[in-house]
Structure 1
Amino acid sequence: MDLKSHADRLRSRTLKSVVEAGRTISEFDACGWNINVSRQFLDADAETALAKLASQKDLPGAVERLFTGKTVNPSEGRAALHWALRAQETEFADAERVRKSSEAAEALASDIANGRKTAANGHPFKAIVHIGIGGSDFGPRLIADAFHDSRLPDVELRYCANLDPLDLELALAGLDPAETLVVGVSKSFGTEETLYNLTRARDWVRAGVPADWAKHFVLVTANPERATAWLNGAKGLILDLPESVGGRFSIWSAGSVACSITLSSDVMKGFRRGAAEMDAHVQTAPVHENAAIQLAMLDYWNASFMGFGARALLAYSRRLRLLPAYLQQLEMESNGKSVGPAGAGVGGATTPLLWGGEGTIGQHSYHQWLHQSPSIVAAEFILAPGSRTDEAGVTGLTAHALAQAEVLANGRTLEEVQKEEPDLPAEIAAQKVHAGGRPSTFISTSELTPEKLGSLIALYEHRTYLAGVLWGLNSFDQWGVERGKTMASRLKPDGEGSKDAVTNHLIKRLQT
């Protein structure tokens, strides 16, 4: 029986009956995370068919190709060596050069944090302004927010990503350019939004630091020639962002140097160490125990065969409140495609819409839609308390996450409503019915540490890449993003304009 036939068979049943018929709990462990997939439209026969597909698509071979530096980005003829940024050691020259780029960033961060590298006036920096966009912003912002309580007391960290002029104005408000270090991250050093904000920041710094202003800039890029030209003869600090590291996989790179400067030194060390542990798991665990392979197969199954076009990421952790935004780029920019590397359509649905937020806060807004809307959305719970200083809070957080997952799966029948609340008017009782049937994955750990965050992000990276292999996609290019940039340049006053009537009408309206 093929996968479509299994999906048709399981779709005709209730989720509760599928789970109860399975009788055993379906879960696996990796690097301190427990991943429970018991509440999915899967049974032993469907799982066997998926495992056969994993063998046909050679997912273990795909893992090996990634970690041996083979070309996995055929659009650009490159390996993807982001994993080398967190490796303790590497076996070949290209990966070793990538690894050393993160070491150089950590050495510079230590010099700045400890006052060995100072502002032009010889004093330590008191503020860092990080300027980037996309992967050059989401990753560092996630780490800094997750471990805000580990920030060094004497340095303020701010971020700027938006082309809206207000974003930089807010980032610089109240700061003294003589005490501020600007970190600019752009792999190509041609990203419009980043260069716009960097150039405005340069004007601001030079107004307050006429001499040696370049000491107030750290530029992270794969294009040092452009960065050097931007410095216009001044000697600045340039860090390498290797070509073989994609922006959305660059959280481990020198692009996170602002975090290394402003957080206690053990945070980034633990973050990379946890990722390296997950790398080892993905390389060595057999298919049936391999967290990345299992989750990639589940993503493929739910999107392409069960028809779930969206997945809600529900992070029951204060430290993970920015994780949904980070993973949106990682998954949807990587696999939000319908054509494979050979130019042929892949057929069927690929990566779903990923959205979500912070539990328990989301329970007071969009969870109503998750529970009782006619739409069925797969959910992914991540339970990872940021602190265990008050066990009552952890108990409450855990209870809410477990309860939401149970009700999404099992629902509440009219008979149950009437039995539990016999005096309800019929019309109110009908409104309290929950259809259930919403599948979910439950990922948990006892406490979120830098190591656990590192292993979790690495897991999602590998899961995304392997799901791309199943769909027949190149997860390491982003032509859809590039087209939007090209069109934007045409619509500027010195561009060629648009042939689209609606666009031209809007231009005229906006100019009045």
Structure 2
Amino acid sequence: MDLMTHADRLRPVPFREILKAGRTISEFDACGWDINVSRQYLDEAAERALTEAVAEKDLPGAIDRLFSGETVNPSEGRAALHWALRAYETDFADADRVRTSSEAAEALASDIANGRKTAANGKPFKAIVHIGIGGSDFGPRLIADAFHDSRLPGVELRFCANLDPLDLELALDGLNPAETLVVGVSKSFGTEETLYNLSRARDWLRKDVSADWAKHFVLVTANPERATAWLEGADGLILDLPESVGGRFSIWSAGSVACSITLSSDVMKGFRDGAADMDAHVQNAPAHENAAIQLAMLDYWNASFMGFGARALLAYSRRLRLLPAYLQQLEMESNGKSVGPDGVGVGGSTTPLLWGGEGTIGQHSYHQWLHQSPSIVPAEFILAPGARSDDDGVTGLTAHALAQAEVLANGRTLEEIQQEEPELPAEIAAQKVHAGGRPSTFISTPVLTPQKLGSLIALYEHRTYLAGVLWGLNSFDQWGVERGKTMAGRLKPGGEGSNDPVTNHLIDMLRG
């Protein structure tokens, strides 16, 4: 029986019956994360068929190809060596060059944080403004927000990503140019939004710092020639962002140097160490215990066979409130595709829409839709308290996460409501029915540390890559993103314009 036949068989079966049908509790541990996948539209027969089908795709071989530096990005003829940025050691030259690029960034960060590298006036920097977009923004912003309570005293960190002029104006508001360092991150050093904001920041610094303005910039790029030209002959600092590291996989790179400067030194070290531990797990754990393989299998099953076109990420952790936005880029830019590297359509659905937010805050908005709308959206709970300083708070957070997952799965029938609340009018009782049948994954750890965040992000990276293998996609290119950039350039004054009548009408309207 093929996988679609199993999905068709299970789809109409009440979810409670599937859960009671004898499939044992399914969970595994990876680097201190407990991952429970028991609440899925799978019984023993379907799970066995899924395991057999996935075995044919040779995910262990795909893992070996990634870590041995083989070409896994055929569109650009490249390896994907982001994992080397956090490796304890590497055993071939290309990976070693990638690893040492992050070491150079850490050395510079230490010099700046400790006052050995100063502003043009010889004084320590008191503010860092990070300018980047996409993978050059989401990652550092996530780390900085997650461990805000580990920031060093006396140094402020701000971010700017948007092309809207207000974004930079807010980032610079109230800062003294003479004591501000600007970190610009662009792999190509051709990203429109980043160059626009960097140029405005350069004008802002020139007014105050004058000829020594370049001492207030750190540029992180894989294109040092462009960065050097942008510095106009001035002596600025340029850090390497290796070509074999994709933007959405660059959180471990020199692109996070602003975090290394402003956070206590153990944060970034622990973050990378945790990721290295997850790399070891993914390389060495057998398939049935391998967290990345098992989660990629579920993504494949839920999207391509069960037909679930979205997944809700519910992060019960203040430190992880920006994780949904980070993972949106990682997963949807990587696998939001329908054509494989051979130019042939892969057929069927691929990566789902990923959205979500911070628990318990989301319970007061979109959880209503998750529970009682006609749509079924699998949920992924991440329970990771940011601190255990108050038992009542952690107990409450845990209870809410557990309760939401249980109600999504089991629902509440009309009969149960009438038994529990016999006095209710029939129309009210009907409105209280929860259909249930919403599958979920429950990922938890006692407290979120830098190491745990590092291992979690690495897990999602590997899961994304392996899901791409299952769908037959190249997870390391992004032609959809590139097309939008090209079209925007054509629509600027002096560009080619558009052949689309609606676009031309909107241009005329916006010009007034």
Q: Residue in 2 aligned with 1:451?
A: 451
Q: Is the 8 A contact 2:316 2:382 kept in 1?
A: yes
State the shift of 1:443 in Å.
0.3
Report the AA paired with residue 451 of structure 1.
Q
State the shift of 1:209 in Å.
0.1
Report the AA paired with residue 342 of structure 1.
D
- Map of 1:62-73 to 2, 5 A cutoff? 62-73=62-73
- C-alpha separation between the residues in 1 aligned to 2:234 and 2:338? 46
Cα deviation digits, residues 259-301 of structure 1 (max 9, x gap): 0000000000000000000000000000000000000000000
TM-score after normalising by structure 2: 1.00
- C-alpha separation between the residues in 2 aligned to 1:184 and 1:14? 53
Q: Residue in 1 aligned with 2:226?
A: 226
- Map of 1:33-432 to 2, 5 A cutoff? 33-432=33-432
State the shift of 1:153 in Å.
1.1
Q: Residue in 2 aligned with 1:440?
A: 440
- C-alpha separation between the residues in 2 aligned to 1:429 and 1:3? 38
- C-alpha separation between the residues in 2 aligned to 1:323 and 1:479? 24
Q: Residue in 2 aligned with 1:494?
A: 494
- C-alpha separation between the residues in 2 aligned to 1:364 and 1:248? 31
State the shift of 1:23 in Å.
4.5
- Map of 1:451-470 to 2, 5 A cutoff? 451-470=451-470
Aligned-partner SS, 1:181: strand
Change in Cα spacing, 1:20 to 1:200, as seen in structure 2 (3 Å) is same
- C-alpha separation between the residues in 2 aligned to 1:333 and 1:281? 25
Asked if 1:3 corresponds to 2:3, the answer is yes
Report the AA paired with residue 323 of structure 1.
L
State the shift of 1:12 in Å.
2.2
Q: Is the 8 A contact 2:181 2:217 kept in 1?
A: yes
Q: Is the 8 A contact 2:409 2:440 kept in 1?
A: yes
Cα deviation digits, residues 289-338 of structure 1 (max 9, x gap): 00000000000000000000000000000000000000000000000000
- C-alpha separation between the residues in 2 aligned to 1:418 and 1:392? 33
Aligned-partner SS, 2:168: helix
Q: Residue in 1 aligned with 2:509?
A: 509
Q: Mean Cα displacement is larger for which, 171-180 or 19-28?
A: 19-28
State the shift of 1:211 in Å.
2.5
Aligned-partner SS, 1:210: helix
Aligned-partner SS, 1:212: helix
State the shift of 1:8 in Å.
1.0
Report the AA paired with residue 146 of structure 2.
A
Report the AA paired with residue 226 of structure 1.
R
How many residues in Structure 1 have an aligned counterpart in Structure 2? 512
- C-alpha separation between the residues in 2 aligned to 1:198 and 1:211? 17
Cα deviation digits, residues 125-149 of structure 1 (max 9, x gap): 0000000000000000000000000
Asked if 1:13 corresponds to 2:13, the answer is yes
- C-alpha separation between the residues in 2 aligned to 1:53 and 1:62? 15
Report the AA paired with residue 236 of structure 2.
G
State the shift of 1:22 in Å.
2.6
Cα deviation digits, residues 35-60 of structure 1 (max 9, x gap): 00000001222121121122211100
Aligned-partner SS, 1:211: helix
Q: Mean Cα displacement is larger for which, 60-69 or 22-31?
A: 22-31
- C-alpha separation between the residues in 2 aligned to 1:243 and 1:418? 63
Report the AA paired with residue 158 of structure 2.
R
Report the AA paired with residue 264 of structure 2.
S
Q: Is the 8 A contact 1:120 1:211 kept in 2?
A: no
- C-alpha separation between the residues in 2 aligned to 1:254 and 1:53? 39
Aligned-partner SS, 1:342: coil
TM-score after normalising by structure 1: 1.00
State the shift of 1:434 in Å.
0.3
- C-alpha separation between the residues in 2 aligned to 1:123 and 1:53? 62
- C-alpha separation between the residues in 1 aligned to 2:75 and 2:99? 24
Q: Residue in 1 aligned with 2:476?
A: 476
- C-alpha separation between the residues in 1 aligned to 2:279 and 2:46? 27
- C-alpha separation between the residues in 1 aligned to 2:127 and 2:205? 13
Q: Is the 8 A contact 2:23 2:44 kept in 1?
A: no
Identity of aligned residues (%): 87
- C-alpha separation between the residues in 2 aligned to 1:300 and 1:244? 26
Q: Is the 8 A contact 2:23 2:43 kept in 1?
A: no
- C-alpha separation between the residues in 2 aligned to 1:12 and 1:286? 33
- C-alpha separation between the residues in 2 aligned to 1:156 and 1:199? 21
Q: Is the 8 A contact 1:311 1:377 kept in 2?
A: yes
Aligned-partner SS, 2:76: coil
Report the AA paired with residue 480 of structure 2.
G
State the shift of 1:472 in Å.
0.1
- C-alpha separation between the residues in 2 aligned to 1:208 and 1:412? 65
Aligned-partner SS, 2:210: coil
Give the root-mean-square deviation of aligned CA atoms.
Answer: 0.5
Runs of 4+ in 1 over 6 A off after TM superposition: none
- C-alpha separation between the residues in 2 aligned to 1:22 and 1:491? 59
- C-alpha separation between the residues in 1 aligned to 2:59 and 2:398? 34
Cα deviation digits, residues 58-77 of structure 1 (max 9, x gap): 10000000000000000000
Report the AA paired with residue 136 of structure 1.
S
Aligned-partner SS, 1:187: coil
Q: Is the 8 A contact 1:125 1:155 kept in 2?
A: yes
- C-alpha separation between the residues in 2 aligned to 1:225 and 1:482? 22
Q: Is the 8 A contact 1:62 1:466 kept in 2?
A: yes
Q: Is the 8 A contact 2:85 2:99 kept in 1?
A: yes
